Amino acid sequence: MARDFVLLGKITRPHGIRGEVKMHPYSGQPENMLQYRVVFIGTGKAEERQRFEIRRARVQGNTVLLKLTGCDDRNRAETLADREVWLDYRDLPELEDDEFYWADLHGKGVRTREGRELGRVTGLLDTGAHTVLSVTGTGHEYLVPVRDEFVVLIDEHEVILDLPPGLLEINRG
């Protein structure tokens, strides 16, 4: 599935008087923002996003403080509050063969190794212990832990699972 941009988070408010903004990263890993040099800020509509170079980024707790080119005072920073932060998909770091980006799973078909169609990936939840795949379809929502022993294959079109007996029945929504 071709993607142009990946949603990273949201600017929550200005920080200080020199144009810094505070950003809440949706990944829960604010340190990831330290590796990016260019972001796009705006709404879900690509034509409404504005390109900014990151001059400085620093982690503050679960958030990131960003100093952006062209944002030199609090007034300009206030105009960016409540805006989404996007990254050009091509700027994401390359992955190892056994890694994936959450955004790449959204919308993929999901079936069991035996061929039972479960639906499509509609979300991922980070529980702290492990990631949980939310699969919606056939009138149900299934929550499946993303664990090596359960995920057989993730390819361009689908996710194939090998689940222990009873797992789907105990968590049907």
85 with 107, same domain: the answer is no
Is residue 119 within 8 A of residue 140, CB to CB? The reply is yes
**Number of structural domains in the chain:** 2
Domain final residue pick, 52, 72, 91 = 91
Domain final residue pick, 58, 91, 124 = 91
Domain final residue pick, 91, 110, 136 = 91
pLDDT at residue 81, rounded to an integer? 96
Structural domain of residue 46, as residue ranges? 5-91
108 with 77, same domain: the answer is no
Closest by alpha carbon to 40, among 90, 86, 80? Answer: 86
Report pLDDT digits (tens) over 17-57: 999 999 999 877 899 999 999 999 998 777 889 999 999 99
What mean pLDDT, rounded, does the chain reach? 88
Q: For the domain that residue 112 is a member of, what is the CATH number?
A: 2.30.30.240
115 with 158, same domain: the answer is yes
117 with 59, same domain: the answer is no
pLDDT at residue 68, rounded to an integer? 98
Report pLDDT digits (tens) over 67-93: 999 999 999 999 999 999 999 988 988
| Greater pLDDT, 150 or 156 | 150
Burial of 114 (0-12, 13-18, 19+ CB in 10 A): exposed
* Letter string b/e over residues 2-19, b meaning 16 or more CB atoms within 10 A of that residue's CB: eeebbebbbbeebbeeeb
112 with 66, same domain: the answer is no
Closest by alpha carbon to 124, among 26, 39, 2, 45? Answer: 26
**What global pTM score does this model have?**
0.69
Q: Would 97 be classed as within a structural domain?
A: no
Q: For the domain that residue 47 is a member of, what is the CATH number?
A: 2.40.30.60
109 with 145, same domain: the answer is yes
